[in-house]
Amino acid sequence: MRARAANAYANTQVQTGVASSSPGTLIVLVYERLFDHLKMGKLAMERGEFGMESFTKAHDLIQQGLLACLDFEAGGEIAQSLAAVYEWSLREIISARTNKSPEKIQGVIEVLQPLYEAWLQLAPKEIISHVTADEAGMGGGGLERQVANL
């Protein structure tokens, strides 16, 4: 009984934290979870396993947490470039799985790492502007809802 209550409490804290986070912070969280799953899948692959669950979750995070959230109208060329990187990453993960190539997974991690580091730099600044927007009554967007469902 206590374990169930503790799990429910922990789950509520995670959901509350995600719902109250700024979009930039959520993207950082998506990248962190993505790297976790890519690394777990890579380790499984190195042990001769398939890593199916890890790679499926990594695919979903790219598809639903990064790619689906791009605003091509406002983001223009940057959004197009990010979409190309994310789509390439999805293809590389599939290729790595079919060819049993942990090196390809490492390549995906290495390509995405600089984007993650850029978001780490942007997120603190974005938090300040998010708080200002909330104070003005403008509130957050749909990204929080999408990440909360992953």
**Inter-CA distances, 4 with 1, 9, 10, 15, 116, Å:** 5, 9, 10, 16, 34
- Averaged pLDDT for residues 38-53: 97
What is the model's pLDDT at position 144?
A: 38
Q: Is it the case that residue 1 has pLDDT exceeding 70?
A: no
pLDDT tier at 23, thresholds 50, 70, 90:
confident
What is the model's pLDDT at position 150?
A: 42
Full domain range(s) for residue 19? 2-148
- Averaged pLDDT for residues 14-43: 84
Give the tens place of pLDDT for each residue, 94-147.
Answer: 999 999 999 999 999 999 999 999 999 988 765 544 444 444 444 444 443 344
What is the model's pLDDT at position 61?
A: 98
Give the tens place of pLDDT for each residue, 31-41.
Answer: 999 999 999 99
Tokens of 125: 């600044």
- HEC-encoded secondary structure of the chain: CHHHHHHHHHHHHHHHHHHCCCHHHHHHHHHHHHHHHHHHHHHHHHCCCCCHHHHHHHHHHHHHHHHCCCCHHHHHHHHHHHHHHHHHHHHHHHHHHHHCCHHHHHHHHHHHHHHHHHHHHHHHHHHHHHHHHHHCCCCCCCHHHHHHCC
Count of residues for the chain? 150
CATH (domain of 126)? 1.20.120.340
What is the model's pLDDT at position 19?
A: 54
- Averaged pLDDT for residues 4-9: 53
Q: First vs last Cα of the chain: how many Å apart?
A: 26
Domain count, the chain: 1
72 vs 7, higher pLDDT: 72
Q: Is it the case that residue 48 has pLDDT exceeding 90?
A: yes
